Chains A and B, each alone.
Chain A
Amino acid sequence: GAGVSQSPSNKVTEKGKDVELRCDPISGHTALYWYRQSLGQGLEFLIYFQGNSAPDKSGLPSDRFSAERTGGSVSTLTIQRTQQEDSAVYLCASSLQGNYNSPLHFGNGTRLTVT
């Protein structure tokens, strides 16, 4: 079946603008995750959803970052007043359940460039 889908695949924006990144998880997966991948930094955990609620928002780097998930499916990551240090690849993943024995399945990511 279809995997995790992210859009857009690439986004170039000017410093100070807001951006929205979208993630469509695998159908039936209740858990959804956002990560950020920066050059030389590895994968940084941002936020986790179980259903529509986010029990763990600890990784969001600042209050300019927010995320929501509706209908237990699509999620949107919003970055307000973008800064150059926000440039990175934003990866979304989903899993059948948010627990120990459910591996994460990743989308291809959105490459964000802030000029």
Chain B
Amino acid sequence: GEDVEQSLFLSVREGDSSVINCTYTDSSSTYLYWYKQEPGAGLQLLTYIFSNMDMKQDQRLTVLLNKKDKHLSLRIADTQTGDSAIYFCAERDQAGTALIFGKGTTLSVSS
């Protein structure tokens, strides 16, 4: 079945770049997603990428997709303390309906 793996923790200093990595298993995935969860809140859609793209940039966020290696990354430039949250990578299931999530990467930003 589908599986999504992420490292659990990342700690950076304010102003540095953060890179959060994710691997997935389903090579037929057409869309891959990044969500952010702040304490006590639901998941907020950050960005998504279509599988025929290698890169997508949206302000401070850059998504890189290596389809051959089934590897997805999210780079946050000039990381701020407000970026501290849990970041989830997700792929669509084989039926194309539900999203399969990784366990999330907790990003801690220190000033």
Interface residues of A (CB under 8 A from B): 4, 31, 33, 35, 40-43, 45, 48, 50, 55-56, 59, 91, 93, 98-101, 103-109
Q: Which of A31, A40, A56, A105 contacts B45 (CB 8 A)?
A: A105
Task: Count contacts between A and B, CB distance < 8 Å.
Answer: 60
Q: Within 8 Å CB of B45, what residues of A?
A: 103-105
Cβ-closest chain B residue relative to A34: B98
Q: With A and B bound together, what is the CA distance between A28 and B39 in angstroms? A: 28
Question: Interface size class for chain B?
Answer: 20 to 34
Q: With A and B bound together, what is the CA distance between A25 and B66 in angstroms? A: 34
Q: With A and B bound together, what is the CA distance between A98 and B31 in angstroms? A: 13
Q: Within 8 Å CB of B30, what residues of A?
A: 100-101
Q: Could you tell me if B42 and A100 are in contact, using CB atoms closer than 8 angstroms?
A: no
Q: Could you tell me if B48 and A103 are in contact, using CB atoms closer than 8 angstroms?
A: yes
Q: Which of A93, A100, A106 contacts B31 (CB 8 A)?
A: A100
